[in-house]
Amino acid sequence: MEYQHIVVSVEDRVGILRMNRPDVLNALNRASMEEIVSALEAFDADDAVLCIVVTGNEKAWAAGADITEMADASAMEMLHRDQFARWERMKRIHKPIVGAVSGYALGGGCELAMLCDILIASETAKFGQPEIRIGVIPGGGGTQRLTRIVGKSRAMELVLTGETMSAEEAHRRGLVSRVVPVEVLMDEVMALARRIASQPPLAVRLAKESVLKAYETSLSEGLEFERKNFYLLFASEDQKEGMHAFMERRDPRWQGK
């Protein structure tokens, strides 16, 4: 498929999606949002891809929804476009998504980052929900996901002032799992993605679903969900292979079955 605003490639069973509107700091217009979600869905359906990496450029992951596209819209137009509901489709991607964030991750860009399963940031990354400064509020999950990650007080500060959070703070608060120099960001992210891609795919899928369930449900329901997924994996050939390979002191050969 031809894309206008993103560049996609596959390397070592990792699908790589690079946002590519550098002139506007990767601002997310409707067309680019559709391309991002469609490309993720295409990777999800592609048996040659086992892990997905999303990235931007050195200066910007994404500086938010495209303001020029929304500025003069009416409430009813926004309702009919319902463009931010597209992001909901990302929740249905089964394969793990690793975000490599450098530069601005603001507004809808920060919300897109929070939809990734793992985030690694460069030292230059800046996260924030600056919508208040242009007369609105986060609309793609910022008030909900950021609050769950950094807590009520800091989320309130960020959302009510529009100030940004450094990569170091994002790491301290658990938004990103690692901060690395910008020159090695993609190497580190690709090494991680390759490690994930070398694991048994069905277990990866159910592990991702189980971790995400922790955001959506009570502890007892989450534990039950996890346990059933654990038992379910005993229907896979990879479980037999993995456990027998361990007992036979050899490397397992995963089939994704």
**Which one from 15, 111, 121, 197 is the annotated catalytic residue?**
111
Determine, following the binding rule CB under 6 A, whether residue 182 of this chain makes contact with ligand CO8. no
Determine, following the binding rule CB under 6 A, whether residue 65 of this chain makes contact with ligand CO8. yes
CB of 175 closer than 8 Å to CB of 149? yes
- Of 98-117, which residues contact ligand CO8 (CB under 6 A)? 104, 106-108, 111
Per CB under 6 A, the list member of 28, 113, 146, 175 interacting with ligand CO8 is 28
Listed residue (121, 122, 142, 117) closest to 132, CA to CA? 142
Residue 193 is a catalytic residue: no
Q: Characterise 256 by phi-psi region: left (phi > 0), alpha (psi -120 to 50), beta (else).
A: left
Per CB under 6 A, the list member of 99, 130, 200, 201 interacting with ligand CO8 is 130
Whole-angstrom Cα distance, residue 248 to residue 163?
A: 55
Listed residue (240, 235, 236, 215) closest to 225, CA to CA? 215
What minimum distance in Å lies between the beta carbon of 9 and ligand CO8?
A: 23
Determine, following the binding rule CB under 6 A, whether residue 24 of this chain makes contact with ligand CO8. yes
Nearest CB to ligand CO8, comparing residues 17 and 190? 17
Q: Characterise 178 by phi-psi region: left (phi > 0), alpha (psi -120 to 50), beta (else).
A: beta
Stretch that binds ligand CO8, among 64-72, 92-100, 219-227, 235-243 (CB under 6 A): 64-72
Residues touching ligand CO8, count (CB under 6 A): 24
Listed residue (28, 19, 44) closest to 101, CA to CA? 19
Residue-wise DSSP of 15-83 = EEEEE--GGGTT-B-HHHHHHHHHHHHHHHH-TT-SEEEEE--SSEEE-SB-HHHHTT--HHHHHHH-G
Per CB under 6 A, the list member of 15, 139, 200, 201 interacting with ligand CO8 is 139
Per CB under 6 A, the list member of 6, 39, 53, 63 interacting with ligand CO8 is 63
Determine, following the binding rule CB under 6 A, whether residue 66 of this chain makes contact with ligand CO8. yes
What minimum distance in Å lies between the beta carbon of 146 and ligand CO8?
A: 12
- Of 215-254, which residues contact ligand CO8 (CB under 6 A)? none
CB of 2 closer than 8 Å to CB of 54? no
Residue 131 is a catalytic residue: yes
Q: For 147, what's the count of Cα atoms within 13 Å in the CB-facing half-sphere?
A: 10
Contacting positions for ligand CO8 (CB under 6 A): 24-25, 27-28, 33, 63-68, 84, 87, 104, 106-108, 111, 130-131, 134, 138-140
